[in-house]
Amino acid sequence: MATFIDILRNPFQLKLFFISKLPMALLAGLRIEAIDHSTATISLKYGYLTKNPFKSLYFACLAMAAELASGVLVWSGVADSKKNISMLVTGMDAEFTKKAIGKVAFCCEDGIAIREKIQETIDTKAGVTLQTKSTGKDAQGDIVAIFKITWSMKVQG
Task: Calculate what percentage of the chain has a pLDDT beyond 90.
Answer: 90
Does residue 7 have a pLDDT over 90? no
Does residue 132 have a pLDDT over 80? yes
Does residue 102 have a pLDDT over 80? yes
Count CA within 13 A, CB hemisphere, residue 142: 9
Find out whether 44 and 51 touch, Cβ atoms under 8 Å.
no
Q: What's the pTM value of the predicted model, to 2 decimals?
A: 0.94
Task: Calculate what percentage of the chain has a pLDDT beyond 70.
Answer: 99
Q: Which residues pair with 104 in a beta bridge?
A: 44, 138
**Pairwise pLDDT comparison (13 vs 93), residue with the higher score:** 93
List the Cα angle 110/111/117 in 5-degree steps: 90
Give the whole-angstrom CA distance, residue 80 versus residue 151.
Answer: 17
Count CA within 13 A, CB hemisphere, residue 82: 1
Nearest Cα neighbor of 104 from 49, 70, 56 is 56
Helix axis angle for 59-81 and 111-124, nearest 10°, is 50
Does residue 2 have a pLDDT over 80? no
Domain boundaries defined on the chain: 4-155
User: If one looks up domain 4-155 in CATH, what number appears?
Assistant: 3.10.129.10
